[in-house]
A and B are shown apart, each in its own frame.
Chain A
Amino acid sequence: DAKTTQPNSMESNEEEPVHLPCNHSTISGTDYIHWYRQLPSQGPEYVIHGLTSNVNNRMASLAIAEDRKSSTLILHRATLRDAAVYYCILRDIGSGTASKLTFGTGTRLQVTL
């Protein structure tokens, strides 16, 4: 599986936008970029995913670099409930085991008042 690199931790103030970066320089043409997050004492939950174009949903936005070697998860207004570990995951649609999720160490986001 192609590898992703994320900062170990980030801090944000409540109500401020947060940009969580992810580097994936060895991404292949068939890799989708997925983001999941894990709130304290809970299982991971899906946030957003994309292939080439930027994506928006009710939770967040995903900005994908033109060369696809990096992406940024954007939380437009962080709240205390967004404090979690955020995982950037590549999923290869060409692989026979495309469905598994390969988690890295993620970015621990701390949100303060």
Chain B
Amino acid sequence: DSGVTQTPKHLITATGQRVTLRCSPRSGDLSVYWYQQSLDQGLQFLIQYYNGEERAKGNILERFSAQQFPDLHSELNLSSLELGDSALYFCASSAGTVQETQYFGPGTRLLVL
């Protein structure tokens, strides 16, 4: 158990809909990262937050957004969903922004029908 929790574990929705994925980092960790894992693209970095502020952006679509709240939990919002958004979404946390170990949650499996 990494100490990172993600909810829900599974999500099935329809095209055009909007969903919110939630992540609670390990106790004391200030950085949260979101990654997407799909069969054709592999594991890709989406976005990073550090203590409530966006710190780095990767291949995140404009239809996706994220935020980190004062209690350090983070949410990833996916809107206008398309079939190709079906993937595993992982959240990871680390203590800060330097080269510390990232601890990954169990992921949320999203299926868009």
B7 at the interface (CB under 8 A from A): no
In the complex, how many residue pairs between chain A and chain B have their CB atoms under 8 Å apart? Answer: 65
B86-113 interface (Cβ within 8 A of A):
90, 92, 94, 97-107
B68 at the interface (CB under 8 A from A): no
Contacting pair A100 B48 (CB below 8 A): yes
A105 to chain B, nearest CB (A): 6
A29 at the interface (CB under 8 A from B): no
Contacting pair A103 B102 (CB below 8 A): no
* CB nearest to A34 among chain B residues: B99
Q: Interface size bucket, B side?
A: 20 to 34
- Size of the chain A interface, CB-CB below 8 angstroms: 21
Contacting pair B106 A99 (CB below 8 A): no
Pick the contact of B58: A49, A93, A96, A100 (CB < 8 A). Answer: A100
Contacting pair A98 B104 (CB below 8 A): no
B64 at the interface (CB under 8 A from A): no
Name A's interface SS: loop
Decide: A99 near B101, CB < 8 A? Known: A43-B92, A44-B43, A44-B90: no
* CB nearest to A102 among chain B residues: B45
Contacting pair A99 B42 (CB below 8 A): no
B18 at the interface (CB under 8 A from A): no
* CB nearest to A95 among chain B residues: B56
Binary interface encoding of chain A residues 72-106 relative to chain B, with 1 for a CB under 8 A from any of its CBs, else 0 = 00000000000000010001010011111111110
Q: Residues of B at under 8 Å CB distance from A? A: 2, 4, 31, 33, 35, 42-45, 48, 55-56, 58, 90, 92, 94, 97-107
Could you pull out 15 A-B pairs where Cβ atoms are within 8 angstroms? A43-B2, A43-B106, A44-B43, A46-B101, A93-B99, A97-B56, A99-B48, A99-B97, A99-B102, A101-B35, A101-B43, A101-B45, A101-B102, A103-B43, A103-B44
